[in-house]
């Protein structure tokens, strides 16, 4: 579809600029922490959760607490370990992400990390695993968008699938070298355009060429916007 290659390249350029920022050459961990906080709040809100702690400082929203646990798994040494597993066993990582995201959302702990038993779910997940582990030469922003969209459409676990899908998109960005330090905040753009995000996700799920293309372009645009936000975070850190 026309426009996808250009959108992917703009996303790559914006994230590259963030990584080249003077504040991120040595102190990128500070920017990554702020990006993680913003991404966590936005991802929680997109799944209907809260974005802030209660006045006492406690987390009384199960969606937000799940999003925070996922964010912790995508930070520091935990991210290094998770990235290594993602490259060889992405389904194992998806199960782990669901266990973190949905721990307070399901009554039966045996459901955590287990795909729904409906026909076709396992097969679709295997196809995604093949895609992630080298089954395509598509640009990283496109792969991230496709995996993100497919997980939203498939709802493989039945709970917290949006948080898992957005985390998977981040892992692809990290492991592909698109955003190795996890500085981007595409979730903020998706939240700002929540209606367009959900509409485009539905178009992707329909499987038409136009629907898939529109979703990929929207996701690439969010990565581009997330790169610009990462630059703003670095600017503030340097001020």
Q: Render pLDDT for 102-118 as a digit per residue (tens, 0 to 9).
A: 999 998 888 999 999 99
- Closest C-alpha among 96, 110, 113, 105 to residue 62: 105
64 pLDDT exceeds 90? yes
* 3 state DSSP class of 139: coil
pLDDT category at 15 given cuts 50, 70, 90 is very high
Phi, psi angle pair for 16, to nearest 5°: -65, -40
68 pLDDT exceeds 70? yes
Distances 175 to 143, 182, 233 between C-alpha atoms, Å: 12, 10, 22
The tens digit of pLDDT for each residue in 120-164 reads: 999 999 999 999 998 899 999 999 999 999 999 999 999 999 999
Contact 25, 19 (CB under 8 A): no
Query: Which residues does 110 contact at the CB level (< 8 Å), separation at least 6?
Result: none
- State how far the Cα of 16 lies from the Cα of 227, in Å rounded to an integer: 8
**Is the pTM for the entire model greater than 0.85?**
yes
- Closest C-alpha among 205, 211, 193, 147 to residue 174: 147
pLDDT category at 54 given cuts 50, 70, 90 is low
Domains recognised in the chain with CATH numbers: 4-238 (1.10.3290.10)
- Closest C-alpha among 79, 87, 37, 71 to residue 163: 71
Query: Which residues does 215 contact at the CB level (< 8 Å), separation at least 6?
Result: 145, 149, 200, 201, 203, 204
Region of 49 (left: φ > 0; alpha: ψ -120 to 50; beta: rest) is beta
Distance of CA 236 to the CA centre of its chain: 24
56 pLDDT exceeds 70? no
Q: What is the pLDDT at residue 72? A: 96
Specify the range with the lowest mean pLDDT, choosing from 25-29, 106-110, 111-115, 195-199: 106-110
């Amino acid at each position: 579809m026309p426009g996808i290659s250009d959108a992917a390249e703009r996303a790559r350029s914006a994230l590259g600029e963030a990584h080249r920022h003077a504040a991120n050459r040595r102190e990128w961990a500070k920017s990554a922490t702020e990006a993680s906080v913003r991404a966590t709040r936005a991802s929680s809100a997109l799944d209907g959760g809260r974005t802030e702690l209660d006045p006492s400082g406690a987390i009384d929203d199960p969606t937000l607490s799940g999003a925070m646990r996922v964010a912790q798994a995508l930070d520091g040494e935990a991210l290094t370990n998770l990235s290594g597993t993602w490259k060889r066993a992405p389904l194992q990582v998806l199960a782990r992400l669901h266990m973190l995201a949905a721990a307070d959302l399901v009554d039966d702990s045996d459901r955590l990390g287990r795909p729904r038993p409906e026909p076709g779910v396992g097969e679709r997940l295997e196809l995604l695993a093949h895609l992630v582990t080298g089954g395509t030469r598509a640009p990283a922003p496109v792969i991230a968008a496709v995996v993100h969209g497919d997980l939203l459409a498939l709802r493989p676990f039945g709970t917290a699938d949006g948080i898992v899908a957005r985390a998977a998109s981040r892992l692809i960005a990290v492991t592909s070298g698109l955003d190795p330090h996890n500085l981007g905040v595409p979730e903020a753009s998706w939240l700002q355009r929540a209606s367009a995000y959900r509409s485009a996700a539905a178009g992707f799920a329909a499987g038409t060429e136009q629907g898939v293309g529109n979703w990929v372009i929207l996701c690439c645009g969010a990565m581009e916007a997330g790169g610009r936000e990462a630059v703003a975070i670095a600017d503030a850190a340097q001020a």
